[in-house]
Amino acid sequence: MIEFQNVSFAYEKKEYVLHDMSFRIEKGESVGLIGANGAGKSTIMKLLLGLLQGEGKILIDGIEVKKDTLGEIRAKLGFVLQNSDNQMFMPTVYEDMIFGPLNYGLSREVVDQRVDEVLKRLDLEYLKHRYNHKISGGEKRMGAIATILAMEPQAILMDEPTSALDPFNRRLVINTIRELDQTKLIASHDLDMILDTCDRVILISGGRIAADGPAKEILSNKDLLEANRMELPLSMMGKK
């Protein structure tokens, strides 16, 4: 589904933030992307979405990410931004939810049906006509996820989906992520959430893959995590 083939990227000439990176994510997989600040997690997301162009080849569902395939690629990928305020730019949740599907040429009837289905599935019907500036941070995050689900993407990318949320809303977001059947790539420092939602983890360090394997295995490896400026998830502390 998602394939990185020898991808390198530099914001400034010769100062590479990603070095010859290769990995493959199969359809339906749920993968956590972890690493210290500046490791290159957000850059990977932006490269996948075609917001940045690097060296090497990136394939989404067999289609190479390049200028003339961006429309097709972006219809397959949904991206939940870290800052929901930037995602929810329309006046109401409903208007935000219909923005993407209508842009992709779906009829109003189909879109309205999708919106109702997604809101029902997430138990968010009450949010439909609420103003974005009048809803809480947790509701906004759930709204942002709903806007992406209304596009029915094949894969969902999430950048810090649980940041700045209280425990209740964090749990709500985690449960929602667990129930999504799309391919998922989640970048986060919240390792407990990654443990809860992902089967596989890719640990990035200095623009390279430091480890790639089952979530439980990597997230219980104290030495590996500490060597890469991270620490064991709270739920793993005290366990062997």
Residues making contact with other proteins (CB under 8 A) = 49, 51, 71, 74-75, 77, 79, 81, 83, 85-87, 89-92, 95, 98-100, 102-105, 131, 133-134, 147, 151
Q: For residues 104 and 126, which CB has a smaller minimum distance to other proteins in the complex?
A: 104
Q: For residues 6 and 103, which CB has a smaller minimum distance to other proteins in the complex?
A: 103
Helix (H) or strand (E) holding 95: helix 93-103
Q: For residues 88 and 172, which CB has a smaller minimum distance to other proteins in the complex?
A: 88
Minimal distance, residue 128 CB to other proteins, in Å: 13
Q: What is the DSSP string of 60-73?
A: ETTEE-SGGGHHHH
CA atoms within 13 A on the CB side of 30: 15
Say what the alpha-carbon torsion angle 192, 198, 199, 200 is, to the nearest 10 degrees: -90
Q: For residues 28 and 71, which CB has a smaller minimum distance to other proteins in the complex?
A: 71
CA atoms of 44 and 183, how far apart (whole Å): 16
Region of 10 please: left (phi>0), alpha (psi -120 to 50) or beta.
beta
Distances (CA, A) of 238 to 46, 80, 162, 194, 207: 36, 33, 24, 18, 30
Minimal distance, residue 14 CB to other proteins, in Å: 24
Minimal distance, residue 161 CB to other proteins, in Å: 15
Q: For residues 77 and 218, which CB has a smaller minimum distance to other proteins in the complex?
A: 77
Backbone angles phi, psi at 160, to 5 degrees: 45, 60
Q: For residues 10 and 75, which CB has a smaller minimum distance to other proteins in the complex?
A: 75
Minimal distance, residue 60 CB to other proteins, in Å: 13
CA atoms of 144 and 161, how far apart (whole Å): 10
Minimal distance, residue 8 CB to other proteins, in Å: 22
Minimal distance, residue 17 CB to other proteins, in Å: 18
Helix (H) or strand (E) holding 101: helix 93-103
Residues 6+ apart with CB under 8 A from 156: 77, 78, 79, 80, 148, 149, 180, 182, 183, 184, 185
